Structure 1
Amino acid sequence: MGSFKGHALPGTLFLLVGVWHIWSAVVRYTSNPKTFRVRVWNPVPGFDGRLKYLELYVIAFGSFIDMCIELLYSTHLKFFVDGVLNPSHMNDFEHSGMLLMFFIFSAVSLISEKTRFLPLPEGALCLNAATAFSAEYLLFYFHSTSHKGLEGYYHLILVFLVGLCILSAVAGALLPTSFPVDLCSGIAITLQGIWFYQTAFVLYGPMMPEGCRLNDNNISCHAIESEVRGELLANVQLFIEVFGVLVAVVVSYGFAASRYENSDLKSMQTMQDGLVQH
């Protein structure tokens, strides 16, 4: 089982990183499409370079704080019972492992960018990110907590979105100059963050479907019809969120093109228009 805060906190991190990734990819492409390269993280410009690595620090500190909450606070330091891992907190241990992978990703990226000890190419960093997402995927797919019914359906959609993050990260390593791949990566991360929030509001907040309720840490529905209605509602919510993100991407691209567009992008669009006409 989970909680509202347990879903809202990681949702906030994924949403912030995803939105920043989308905007950065759009700006970099519209500014100079010929030199565009996929980036697994994006520096913050200005401020004399003092905030350049802000994204990586947000991931590092956010995952570390959340990991401490899961490992130290949620378990009450009761790690072992009768010489084995405490079975009552296996989900907290699993969450901690997932968060550790994202902390390692941010730490490795910082070491690679700021020092000469681990000069990894961008493709390797993409695969490092894919590894962290893979750990998250395995956690939610083979969770020790039994997700059934409506709760299971919401987590199944989350697993699907995490899978998209894995594929886009791997594709970034294989297609290092592809703007669609970099954009898809940001979209997938953003949708994952939004769906964490959606799960929090539906299962642990005020948006519980009619006929279902949270009782003794379990989601129960009075009838199968109520559960099916809740699953159909989840499909509608996912469609609205995908549509909303795509509209936001189009709007942001239009704004960035009007502000940062250069002659290279205009010439590429003219050539494409000419090919379509012929």
Structure 2
Amino acid sequence: MGSFKGHVLPGTLFLAVGLWRVWASVARFAADPSNFRVRAWNPVTAGPAPLRLLELYVVAGGAFADMCVEVLYSTHLRIFAGGEVNPAHLNDLEHGGMLLMFFLFGALALLSQKTRCLPLTDGALCLVAATAFTAEFLLFYFHSTTHMGLEGYYHYLLVVLIGLCIAATVLGALLPASFPADLGAGVLIALQGLWFYQTALTLYGPMLPTGCARDADGHIECRNRGAEERAEQLANFQLFGHVFLAFVYVLGCYAVAAARYGHPDLTTTHATHVAATELRGAGGDEGAI
């Protein structure tokens, strides 16, 4: 079983990191498209020096705080019972193990930046991040098979987003100059955060679809198959809405970055494309005459 707060906390972390990564990726591309490189994390260049590693502090600190909530607070320190792991809190320990991987990614990146003990390239860190996303994928994949009905469907859609995130992160390690891979990873991280919020609002908040209700054990039951299908269709529509919001955000970031940091190559490429389009159009008009 989950909870509203249990989905909002990781959702906030994913959303904050994803939005920042999208903006940073677009800004770096707009500033110098020919020398663009994939980054496993993005430093804060504007502002005081201590803020430079803010993203890594958010990832490592947020994952560690959420891990403490899952392993210490949710279990009430009753991790063991009768000489073995308490079966009532295995779900919390599963979440804690997944969060540990994200904490390790943030910690390794910080060590790589602040010391000479463990110098890691962005490609290597991308693979570490992909490992963390893989742990998350496995956790929620098996969650989606144990949750039934509408709960399982929301977890299934989350698994799809996580799988795409793994693919984009690995692709960034293999193609270090790929702007689409870097941007796609940021967008998918942000979509994960939005979907955590949507899951919290729908399954544990005020947006539970008509025809479905939470029973005494906390499970969601729909009165018939038709109501469950309508609820799943609503989930699809919600996901499409979040994708549209992400698309608008990317366009807005690109417009602002192009106006603020626009490299001459962007203007030249755009002018060349427009000229070629007009030339093809003129050729078509002459042929028609």
Cα distance 1:252–1:46, how it changes in 2: closer, same or farther (>3 A)? Answer: closer
Partner of 2:260: 259
- 3-state SS of 1:245 partner: helix
Equivalent residue, structure 2, for 1:43 = 43
SS of match in other structure, 2:16: helix
Query: Contact 2:4 / 2:204 at 8 angstroms: preserved in 1?
Result: yes
Deviations 1:133-170 (A, max 9, x none): 00000011123982110000000000000111101110
| 1:203 equivalent in structure 2 | 203
Q: Quick check: 2:11–2:192 contact (8 Å CA) kept in 1? A: yes
Cα distance in 2 for partners of 1:4, 1:48 equals 35
Alignment of 1:68-87 (within 5 A): 68-87=68-87
Q: What CA distance in whole angstroms lies between the structure 2 residues aligned with 1:131 and 1:230?
A: 33
3-state SS of 1:220 partner = strand
Aligned to 1:17: 17
**1:274, CA displacement in angstroms?**
5.1
Check whether the contact 2:144–2:153 (CA below 8 A) recurs between aligned residues.
no
The CA distance in 1 between the partners of 2:86 and 2:271, in whole Å, is 64
3-state SS in 2 of match to 1:181: helix
Shift of 1:83: 2.4
Q: Hey, what's the Cα distance between the residues in 1 that align with 2:95 and 2:145?
A: 11
Q: Is structure 2 residue 129 aligned with structure 1 residue 129?
A: yes
> How far has the Cα of 1:268 moved from its partner?
2.8
Q: Which residue of 2 aligns with 1:101?
A: 101
C-alpha distance 98-83 of structure 1, shift in aligned 2 (>3 A): same
Which stretch shows the higher mean deviation, 254-263 or 170-179? 254-263
TM-score, length-scaled by structure 1: 0.96
Distance 1:52 1:77 in 2: 36
CA distance in 2 between partners of 1:118 and 1:145 (Å): 39
**1:259 to partner: Cα distance:** 1.5
Alignment of 1:151-230 (within 5 A): 151-215=151-215, 216-230=217-231
SS at match of 1:213: strand
Contact 2:145 2:152 in 1 (8 A): no
For the Cα contact (< 8 Å) 2:4–2:205, is it kept in 1?
yes
Amino acid at match of 2:211: G
Distance in 2 separating the partners of 1:191 and 1:39: 19
Aligned match of 2:286: none
Ranges in structure 1 where 5+ consecutive residues have no aligned partner: none
Measure how far apart 1:173 and its partner are.
0.2
Q: How many Å apart are 1:270 and its aligned residue?
A: 3.2
Is contact 1:130-1:170 (8 Å) kept? yes
Normalising by structure 2, we get a TM-score of 0.93
Considering only CA atoms, is the larger Rg found in Structure 1 or Structure 2? 2
Preserved CA contact (<8 Å) 1:91 1:143: no
Q: Identity of aligned pairs, percent?
A: 58
Provide Cα deviations, 1:109-155, integer angstroms capped at 9, x if missing partner: 01111111111111000000000000000011123982110000000
Shift of 1:264: 2.1
Distance in 2 (alpha carbons) for counterparts of 1:173 and 1:205: 38
- Asked whether the 8 Å contact 2:143–2:152 carries over to 1, the reply is no
Distance in 2 separating the partners of 1:27 and 1:267: 18
Aligned to 2:283: none
* Larger CA deviation: 58-67 vs 268-277: 268-277
What is the RMSD computed on CA atoms of the aligned residues? 1.4
SS at match of 2:77: coil
1:168-207, CA deviations, whole angstroms, 9 ceiling, x for partnerless residues?
A: 1100001111111111011100100000000000000000
Aligned residues: 278
Give the residue type in structure 2 aligned to 1:261: G
> Equivalents in 2 of 1:116, 1:268: separation in Å?
41
* Alpha-carbon separation, structure 1, partners of 2:83 and 2:48: 53
> Secondary structure of the equivalent of 2:129?
helix
